[in-house]
Structure 1
Amino acid sequence: MLKAILFDLDQTLLDRNTSLKKFVEWQVNFFQLVSQKNKQDFITRFIELDNNGNVWKDLVYTQLLKEFNIKNFNVETLLNSYVNDFNKFSSSFERVPETIQNLYNKGYKLGLISNGKSPFQENNFYALGLKEFFSTIIVSEAIGLRKPDIQIFEHACKELGFIPNECIFVGDNPKADIEGANKAGMKTIFFHPDPSIDYPLADKQIHHYDQLEIAINKLENSIL
């Protein structure tokens, strides 16, 4: 029987792409980093350099200050703003809050496993307003383990009081989320908002949170 559901954060619960665009637009305006004429170019370049969150922002800002010839601010000031202000723009994918509450009300234990920096990732998660439904929140930097290492999945399952084959992992990254959780012995659900992107090695796939409970029910029925 499946008793727990664990989630990735960025691009799974958190619509990071939308949140990042909102944050960068605010930061450009707030600090008046570039002219309005160059604002969209700055935002586009930030997103390119960020590389889906794989590049830490000190390197991103160093390059942006150079490319846009920004003299009034240094990397430290802009990085501090990113760390402290990004969470104010955190937004979830459509139907995430309702779905999480439904799963919680049905008796599932819920958990989070996110690769990233601490407390930055925790604060981004808290801003979604879902903390009360989650029994464990694990960020890689805080415990010294990163997905796809099976130990981080085993640690999370243990925190919830279950073994991996009683747990489902929902994530968007084929290697870090799906392969890692599969190797740990968990069932997996691949999420991507683009219906054209699939990952058939996951046990189930969804493209909208309206589909999550149906996918979980199918996994439940497959192991009865």
Structure 2
Amino acid sequence: MTNKKIKAVLFDLGQTLIHFNKVNAMAVFHEAATNSYDYLKELDQPVGSLKAYKWRNFLSIRVKLLISDLMKRDWDSLVGLRKSHEKKGIRLSAEQWRQLNWKWYEPLSRRGSIEPDLAETLGLLRDKGLKLGIVSNTWVNGCSLEKHIDKYGLLHFFDVKVYSYDYPFRKPDKRLFIEAAKQVNVACANILFVGDRVDNDIRGAIRAGMLPVLKTTPENKRKTLPPTATRIDKLSELPQLIEKVNTDNT
């Protein structure tokens, strides 16, 4: 009989580990574009007018997102940012490119929040000997995502971070879940996956053979769950849930 004890927990990022309240996307874009423009001006880069800079980047992002949706794969914001800006004669160091990427992401990061006891919850899971990881569908480069996570003092908890832009597939494709399982070096049957979307997270985890857990949000509270999935309201419920699963599989 297969040992189904939980040995690792993988988390989705947005709306699972970090919650974003309803965001005005255009307001975030204008703030991010202005901050990025000002940063490049400080570096004496040939950015032209603010209006033209915003318009170019708005079109570039929209086209990339459209292609991403059609191809069912994500793009890397850092790579895309560098290519589009270098075409306009902008030359930066590796660290300055990462800082520019952060300038674009930072306004959104300020609109995020976490559960007040999340660090304690993750600490309890680590104390149980569980490996922890992140599996996220994202086009935001990890240099900015991890800076955001680190601002909450949480980055050190995660053994692996798997971002879809590094692969030619994304959730709910089971290959992304299996890749994370390989990196954390735990069999899929011994992994609990926590996410906020039934379509991408729960169904993908089931296809990979993981135990799926849906974190309730206003957007998914009326969604019907597959019979093998569990619903929680807060991540702080995980230690008790895992203890029950492991006791039942003793």
| TM superposition score normalised by structure 1 | 0.68
Verify the 8 A CA contact 2:137 2:164 in the aligned structure 1. yes
Q: Report what 1:96 is aligned to.
A: 118
Q: Identify the match of residue 232 of structure 2 among 203, 206, 211.
A: 206
- 1:124 is aligned to 2:124: no
Q: How has the CA–CA distance of structure 1 residues 24 and 105 changed in structure 2, closer, same or farther, with 3 Å as cutoff?
A: farther
Structure 1 unmatched ranges of 5 or more = 32-55, 61-75
Q: Report what 1:12 is aligned to.
A: 16
Q: Name the Cα RMSD after superposition.
A: 3.5
Verify the 8 A CA contact 2:10 2:133 in the aligned structure 1. yes
Q: Identify the match of residue 188 of structure 1 among 206, 212, 221.
A: 212
Q: Report what 1:220 is aligned to.
A: 246
- Pick 1 or 2: higher relative contact order, CA cutoff 8 A, min separation 6: 2
In the TM superposition, what is the alpha-carbon distance from 1:133 to its structure 2 partner? 0.9
Verify the 8 A CA contact 1:7 1:112 in the aligned structure 2. yes
Q: Report what 1:168 is aligned to.
A: 192
Q: Identify the match of residue 130 of structure 2 among 80, 83, 108.
A: 108
In the TM superposition, what is the alpha-carbon distance from 1:204 to its structure 2 partner? 1.4
Verify the 8 A CA contact 2:28 2:108 in the aligned structure 1. no
Q: How has the CA–CA distance of structure 1 residues 80 and 111 changed in structure 2, closer, same or farther, with 3 Å as cutoff?
A: closer
Partner SS state of residue 113, structure 2: coil
Report the structure number with the largest CA radius of gyration. 2
Q: Report what 1:133 is aligned to.
A: 157
Which letter does structure 2 place at the counterpart of 1:14?
I
Q: Which stretches of structure 1, 4 residues or more, deviate above 6 A after TM superposition? A: none
In the TM superposition, what is the alpha-carbon distance from 1:212 to its structure 2 partner? 2.0
Structure 2 unmatched ranges of 5 or more = 35-58, 64-84, 86-100
Q: How has the CA–CA distance of structure 1 residues 186 and 25 changed in structure 2, closer, same or farther, with 3 Å as cutoff?
A: closer
The percentage of counterpart residues that share the same residue type is 28
Q: Report what 1:152 is aligned to.
A: 176
Verify the 8 A CA contact 1:6 1:168 in the aligned structure 2. yes
CA distance in 1, matches of 2:233, 2:10: 17
